[in-house]
Amino acid sequence: MDNLPNLPTAPEGGNKTRLFAVLAVAILFGLAAFYFSRPSSRPESRATSEAQTNASPEERAYIASVGVNHFAVTRAENFLHQEVTTISGDITNGGNRPLASVELTIEFSDDLNQIAQRETRNLFGPPGPPIAPGDHREFEVSFEHISSSWNMRQPVVKVTAVQFTPAK
């Protein structure tokens, strides 16, 4: 019964190396599948807020009349030793309607000038007084976390929605 030819056998170390390589490749594929299947942490560039979605055509057109002026970025450490970034400035109502609220979108860019983080914040909502036509109001927005890929340059701050004061 020993008529079988002698087949070459792989050295034992070769099987372990091959097994290790197969496991390493399987783990890499698993990590890649996990990474690419999860939702992106970056907001989509066409993401719209509820205020933008519910805005009337007149409110959307009025955005051009609202300006963001004199804004500055400051960084400080809070009492929990966390870095807090604050953006402050003025909102100017250059139109002829009083505004109940203004929504800002702030975009932080990375070294490739791609959006590293986008935040949308509603300012001056009720119960505060409206911003009268021709008037301005100071604002301040704080961020406890900003993407580590932020290039530390001035972010883009733009008005993305307004809400008129309801007619009485």
Q: What is the 3-state secondary structure (H, E, C) of 3-56?
A: CCCCCCCCCHHHHHHHHHHHHHHHHHHHHHHHHHHCCCCCCCCCCCCHHHHHCC
What does the block give as tokens for 71? 């804004």
pTM for the full predicted model: 0.65
- What CATH number corresponds to the domain at position 59? 2.60.40
Q: pLDDT tens digits for 45-91?
A: 445 566 566 778 899 999 999 999 998 999 988 787 788 999 999 99
Instruction: Specify whether 103 is located in the same domain as 147.
Output: yes
Interval 123-135: pLDDT, tens: 887 677 899 999 9
Q: Is residue 139 part of a domain?
A: yes
Residue 2 within a domain: no
Question: What is the amino acid identity at position 27?
Answer: I
Structural domain of residue 103, as residue ranges? 50-164
Instruction: Report the alpha-carbon distance of residue 120 to residue 139 in Å, rounded.
Output: 14
